[in-house]
Amino acid sequence: MIDRAEVRRIAALAHLALSDEEETRLSGELSKILEYVEQLRELPTSDVAPTTAVALSGAFREDEVRPSLAPERALRNAPSVVGSAVAVPKILD
């Protein structure tokens, strides 16, 4: 059961501002989805290794310098730019 306090705790972790209406709705929806996934508990898995990925193997390569996007192209989509930097609201008062 995910109550509204729990919804607020998760939303803070996820950097999401939720309205009262969203908090209420998500409390019900997440509870229902979690109830559905509870069925996994009936499977004994203590001696089963987890699958984290199905890729063939880790692809290691040399860490070498290569051409990348020019700064002005990389910055073209930024909502706010000062000089060659992305500008954001202040972090500390």
Partner 1 sequence: MPPASDICDLTLAALAEKLGQREISSVEATEAALARTRAIEPKVHAFLHLDETATEAARASDARRAKGEARSPLDGVPIGLKDIFVTEGLPTTAGSRILEGFVPPYDGTAVARLRARGAVITGKLAMDEFAMGSSNENTPFTPPRNPWDLGRVPGGSSGGSAAAVAAREVFGALGTDTGGSIRQPAALCGIVGLKPTYGRVSRYGVVAFASSLDQVGPMARTTEDCALLLQAIAGHDPLDSTSADLPVADYSAAVGRGAGGLTLGVPDEYFGAGLDPEVESGVRAALARLEAAGARVKRVSLPHARYAVAAYYIVATAEASSNLARYDGVKYGRRAPGARSLHEMYLRTRAEGFGPEVKRRIMLGTYVLSAGYYDAYYLKAQRVRTLIRRDFEQAFSEVDAIVGPTSPTPAFRFGEKLADPLQMYLADIFTIACNLAGLPGLSVPCAFTRDGLPVGVQFIGKPWGEPVLFSLGAALDRDLSLHSLRPPL
Positions that interact with partner 1 (CB under 8 A)? 2, 6-7, 10-11, 13-18, 22, 26, 29-30, 32-34, 36-37, 39-41, 43, 45, 48-56, 58-59, 61, 69, 73-74, 76-80, 86, 88-91
Quick one: 79 or 83, whose CB is closer to partner 1? 79
CB of 66 to partner 1, least distance (A): 10
Q: Which amino acid is at 41?
A: R
DSSP-assigned letters across all residues of 30-81: HHHHHHHHGGGGGS--TTS------SSS-------------HHHHTTT-SSE
